[in-house]
Amino acid sequence: MKRTLSVLVENRPGVLTRVAGLFSRRGYNIDSLAVGRTENPSISRMTIVVDGDEQIIEQVSKQLNKLIDVIKLSDITDDPHVGRELVLIKVNAEPAVRGEIMQIVDIFRARIVDIARNSLIIEATGDADKIDAIENSLRPFGIREVVRTGKIAMLRGAKTRGMEASGDGAGE
Amino acid sequence: MDTVFGIPGGSVLPLYHELAVASIRHILTRHEQAAAHAADGYARASGKPGVCIATSGPGATNLVTGIANAYMDSIPIIAITGQVSVAMIGRDSFQEADITGITLPVTKANYLVKNIRDLAVTIHEAFHVAATGRPGPVLIDVPKDITTQRAAFHYPPRLHLPGYRSRVEPHALQVAQAAAAIQAATKPLLFIGGGVITSGAHEEVRQLAEEQDIPVVMSMMGKGAFPEQHPLFIGMVGMHGTAAANYAICETDLIIGVGVRFDDRVTGKIEAFAPKAKIIHIDIDAAEIGKVVAAHIPIVADARQALQALLAKLPGKMERPAWRQQIKRWQEENPLRYEQCGLKPQYVIEELYHLTGGRAIISTDVGQHQMWAVQYYPLERPRAFLSSCGLGTMGFGVPAAMGAAIARPGETVVAISGDGSFQMNIQELATLSHYRIPVKIVLLNNGYLGMVRQWQEFFFDRRYAYSEMAGNPDFVKVAEAYRVPGRRVTTREEVVPALQEALETEGPFLLDVLIDREENVFPMVPPGGTLNKMVTGGRQE
């Protein structure tokens, strides 16, 4: 079972290592992990897709929540959300087959972003299914390289996964 | 915090230059690992964070075992390490080690301070994080040039830690459910651990046990959290727990787990653990709930607060005579016992108990002697038993005892050790001697890595592969070389006078007790076994 976790973290050195290390140390499998700055430069958001049963997901969430750099964690799998991935695919493209490739690119509303004598780079965004589909459609031509960002996600509607945190504001 | 433990070196020279004229006492240990264990022992005995200091590179890496040890047992220590100057980091400089990277999995938090302006707030944050919530070790890595710069001292009274919640209130609904479950149970069992001691909940545990007539078992970390001579006390559970405690786990219909993490040494075969019981699990760390056993009623909160809330929901007294009688029967049928001949380690500990009136602070190393100490030195109060329970670190006992003796001056501190463990930090005899720290070392010397030998006897066809400590020194002579008085004990008759001499001599003392070499720890639940299937004594063929 794949779950999508949206995690707000403090933008501090080592936080990515901490999160990634936690997964490997405790034997959890990361499907993908995407990280970037939020509207607040001191806070980053990680979108983590993790594979595991309910008990594993619960442990992952609790262990992540224990990290001091983790401000807030939400499992948004079951909430309506927009989930996107970006992929760059370098595919073999002899002049004779370029037309066919361009048709596929159109169907998936992808774009050609680079062209060489015998190859193209195609850029596509979409959910994981769509990215898998375009990859499969291009495979017969010979894929040379694939670079995927991993999923990023945002809740639909006006709701946000805001910064309202409940941590310690005061010391002794 | 009044005392720190450490060893100077290149990267911390500027720090030590100031420490020498500061109002903080510094104890020079002879190995950084001992500094970390001493800070740990200081913390366990006092309830306050312990502090250790080491230089960069090897100094810092030598702390790692001590830090990991504190992490496993949730002990608040602050490790301050020197680091090479900021500009030199990442260049494989002399005595450089990525200690924040190395200690990432074994610290609650760690920091590399790259700007002097962050130093004061980092120290504030480190102490706060180490000591609150579920405590744990925190490391601060300070590059050498940071300690030579000057900056205006800015110590913010408020910390900004949006991702850290140290206080968690018990959930009223969960508490009500727990209270109802306790009232409905016919064979409830309190299972207490280190969290009870950390939160100072021992009085609440006692009140709950007495008012609701609930028998009590403990994990090793819980030793001292409930008076062991109390009629409701059954003993430690798990691999070397008492038979009655293990039977009780197998029969109980409600476990009230307080500040415990259901370690595999406690549960044995997890599928067969407490098969008839509902579980109430009280822990301040949400991640402990459901980690090993499924909790029917989880309460994420400080143990003391949770128990107070629970007590408020449980007016009046309960009597459970049938359950108590059953336990009493188990206790009478399966007492702890050993043969009354030769020089038995159990006898040494029993006599130590009598001579100290049960009022000593006991620290142990790891192995057979550790289990005998748990079994034969019952305690009446918390923070008087220091042992490496989670990590199982041989070499912990003597330095931890040093920390405790410094934290609690005037108390009798005894390090019960074995010849294997003691040699892992034997150099600390120098520290004991240097500062005349009054630690009494009782060395239960069988010339073996005893627990290893026991396992080889039971599970490895008696092929005693490398567990005999041939080449042991004369420990009394070693102690004497360090100007620590000592005495060797070879017969049962000498035990009491020798213990008396050790306890009456001022300062440190070493007793080298040549115990029966092949004495085993019983009862024993084979690893991964079911708790009611114990080996309870005698040679197993």
Task: Out of B109, B163, B287, name the one closest to residue A167 (CB).
Answer: B163
Closest CA in chain A for residue B163: A71
Q: Which residues of B touch A (CB under 8 A)?
A: 100-101, 104-105, 108-109, 112, 124-125, 128-129, 132, 157-167, 285-287, 289-291
pLDDT band for B155, please (50, 70, 90 cuts): confident
What's the gap in Å between the CA of B372 and the closest CA on chain A?
A: 33
What's the gap in Å between the CA of A82 and the closest CA on chain B?
A: 26
B159-214, pLDDT tens digit by residue? 989 999 888 899 999 999 999 999 999 999 999 999 999 999 999 999 999 999 99
What's the gap in Å between the CA of A24 and the closest CA on chain B?
A: 11
Closest CA in chain B for residue A10: B163
Closest CA in chain A for residue B123: A171
Encoding tokens for residue B409?
Answer: 């001056």
CA distance readout (Å), B391 to A18, B6, B354, B366, B535: 21, 22, 30, 10, 24
Indicate which residue of B96, B127, B144, B278 is catalytic.
B144
pLDDT band for B400, please (50, 70, 90 cuts): very high
pLDDT at B167: 81
A144-161, pLDDT tens digit by residue? 999 999 999 999 988 776
Q: Do B165 and A167 touch (CB under 8 A)?
A: yes
Task: Show the domains of chain B with their CATH numbers.
Answer: 3-148 (3.40.50.970), 172-333 (3.40.50.1220), 345-514 (3.40.50.970)
Task: Out of B108, B159, B162, name the one closest to residue A170 (CB).
Answer: B159
Q: Which fold would CATH assign to domain A2-79?
A: Alpha-Beta Plaits (3.30.70)
What's the gap in Å between the CA of A121 and the closest CA on chain B?
A: 36
pLDDT band for A163, please (50, 70, 90 cuts): low
Taking alpha carbons only, the member of B235, B290, B280 closest to residue B258 is B280
Closest CA in chain B for residue A62: B287
pLDDT at A169: 60
Mean pLDDT score across all residues of chain B: 96
In chain A, beta strands by DSSP E: 2-10, 29-37, 43-51, 70-75, 81-92, 111-115, 119-126, 143-148, 152-155
Mean pLDDT, rounded, for B5-14: 98
Q: Do B162 and A59 touch (CB under 8 A)?
A: no
Residues of A in contact with B163 (CB under 8 A): 9-10, 67-72, 165, 167
Indicate which residue of B5, B32, B218, B524 is catalytic.
B32
pLDDT at A164: 58
pLDDT band for B304, please (50, 70, 90 cuts): very high
Mean pLDDT, rounded, for B342-346: 97
pLDDT at B134: 97
What's the gap in Å between the CA of A86 and the closest CA on chain B?
A: 30
Query: In the annotation, is B144 catalytic?
Result: yes
Indicate which residue of B95, B177, B326, B427 is catalytic.
B95
Query: In the annotation, is B278 catalytic?
Result: no
Residues of B in contact with A66 (CB under 8 A): 285-287
Q: Do B162 and A69 touch (CB under 8 A)?
A: no
- ipTM value: 0.84
Return the number of other C-beta atoms located less than 10 Å from residue A13's C-beta. Answer: 12
Q: Do A169 and B159 touch (CB under 8 A)?
A: yes
Residues of B in contact with A10 (CB under 8 A): 162-163
CA distance A95 to A93: 6
Query: In the annotation, is B440 catalytic?
Result: no
CA distance B541 to B530: 20
- Answer yes or no: is pLDDT of B65 > 60: yes
Per DSSP, the three-state class of B254 is strand
pLDDT at B45: 98
Domains A2-79 and A82-153 share a fold: yes
CA distance A78 to B44: 45
What's the gap in Å between the CA of A47 and the closest CA on chain B?
A: 17
Mutate to test the interface with A, among B102, B161, B169 (most CBs of A within 10 A): B161
pLDDT at A160: 78
Q: Which residues of A touch B (CB under 8 A)?
A: 9-10, 13-14, 17-18, 21, 25, 55, 58-59, 62-63, 65-72, 163, 165-172
CA distance A93 to A115: 9
Mean pLDDT, rounded, for B122-133: 96
What's the gap in Å between the CA of A117 and the closest CA on chain B?
A: 42
Q: Do A72 and B163 touch (CB under 8 A)?
A: yes
Cβ proximity of A88 and A125 under 8 Å: no
Indicate which residue of B394, B451, B524, B534 is catalytic.
B451
CATH number of A82-153: 3.30.70.1150
pLDDT at B541: 32
CA distance B176 to B481: 62
Mean pLDDT, rounded, for B471-496: 98
Return the number of other C-beta atoms located less than 10 Å from residue A2's C-beta. Answer: 14
Q: Do B164 and A9 touch (CB under 8 A)?
A: no
Task: Out of B101, B161, B289, name the one closest to residue A168 (CB).
Answer: B161
Mean pLDDT, rounded, for B287-294: 94
Per DSSP, the three-state class of B64 is helix
- Answer yes or no: is pLDDT of A170 > 90: no
pLDDT at B115: 96
pLDDT at A25: 87
Q: Do A14 and B132 touch (CB under 8 A)?
A: no
Residues of A in contact with B101 (CB under 8 A): 17
Can you tell me which residue has the tokens 């002990």?
B75
Q: How many CB pairs below 8 A link A and B?
A: 71
Task: Out of A59, A169, A170, name the one closest to residue B291 (CB).
Answer: A59
Cβ proximity of B134 and B73 under 8 Å: no
pLDDT at B168: 85
Per-domain boundaries in chain A: 2-79, 82-153
Phi–psi pair at B416, nearest 5 degrees = -90, 120
